[in-house]
Homo-oligomer: A and B are copies of this chain.
Amino acid sequence: MNEHQNETITNKIILEFAKTIEMFDLTPLEARLFAFLYLNEKAYTLDEMSEALGKSKTSMSTSVRSLVEFNLVTRVWKKGVRKDLYQANMQLFKSFMPTYINKWIDATNHQLDSLEEIENKLQQNEYEDNEKLTLLKKRLNNIIDFHHEVEQSFRDMKED
């Protein structure tokens, strides 16, 4: 396999893999960058990534920072190398799934707070009761239940 063939196939894989990564709420560039780092395994500088992906250094800086925040990429040191080096975490499932699941759990929790605050207001007999109010309360409770169910689903997913 020559250099050219290798690169062609590698690019195909990157392209496909990146599509999957995007489903975890990463931007297209972040996804492509991670796929690139993952496939090549070794640590890259911002300039090298910029060169390899044909995107600006600024883009690399912001994208790689996101990837570090998501725990998908780690900054590494090599003696003698001045520039920052970044390298993909190689345990894909552990990197992606737990973070994604937690994101859902956190988000639903936060939403629950907001909704329960509204619910409390409704409970404090500030308002004259009538049919509309009763129905509204019921709907709100259903929505809150829904959030609990969603949260629980993702919590269960976490177990396995």
Residue of B at shortest CB range from A17? B143
Q: How far is the CB of A132 from chain B (nearest CB, A)?
A: 6
- Please tell me the number of chain A residues within 8 Å of chain B, measured between CB atoms: 50
Contact check, A143 vs B92: say whether CB atoms are below 8 A apart: yes
Partner of A133, one of B1, B115, B140: B1
Report the copy number of this chain in the oligomer: 2
CB of A53 within 8 Å of the partner chain: no
Contact check, A9 vs B156: say whether CB atoms are below 8 A apart: no
Contact check, B111 vs A1: say whether CB atoms are below 8 A apart: no
Tell me, in angstroms, the Cα distance from A158 to B149 when the chains sit together.
13
Tell me, in angstroms, the Cα distance from A23 to B132 when the chains sit together.
29
Interface string of A1-35 (1 = CB under 8 A from B): 10001100110110011011001000000000000
Q: How far is the CB of A90 from chain B (nearest CB, A)?
A: 8
Q: Which A residues contact B (CB, under 8 angstroms)?
A: 1, 5-6, 9-10, 12-13, 16-17, 19-20, 23, 38-39, 41, 90, 92-93, 96-97, 104, 107-108, 111, 114-115, 118, 121-122, 127-130, 132-133, 135-136, 139-140, 142-143, 145-147, 149-150, 153, 156-157, 160
